[in-house]
Amino acid sequence: MLQGTVKSFDPETQAAVVLTDARVEYDVPAEVFRVSGLRKLTLGQRVKFRVEGEGEAARVTYVNILTLPDPA
């Protein structure tokens, strides 16, 4: 599980970008946002997220607010 900060969030599409503390950006597709049960994210908000794959094949599979428990 990684941690990062919300860099951008589009409430219309529900797509987001998170930035890790190591300055690596990950796109959070709308379907991942919806599956995670969230309603919105705020710029600068801390989140935890899972990534499957590496390099160009890396994709976010789960995102949640850092203070909420992990359902897995």
In a domain, 70, yes or no: no
In a domain, 29, yes or no: yes
In a domain, 14, yes or no: yes
Evaluate if residue 66 carries a pLDDT over 90: no
Total count of domains within the chain: 1
pTM, rounded to two decimals: 0.84
Evaluate if residue 3 carries a pLDDT over 70: yes
In a domain, 43, yes or no: yes
> Which of these, 12, 3, 6, lies nearest to 51 by C-alpha position?
3
More confident residue, 21 or 66: 21
Range of the domain at 39: 2-65
Q: Rounded distance, CA 3 to CA 20, Å?
A: 6
Q: Which CATH number fits the domain that encloses residue 47?
A: 2.40.50.140
pLDDT of 72 reads 62
Q: Rounded distance, CA 2 to CA 51, Å?
A: 8
Evaluate if residue 8 carries a pLDDT over 90: yes
Give the type of residue at 61: T
Evaluate if residue 70 carries a pLDDT over 80: no
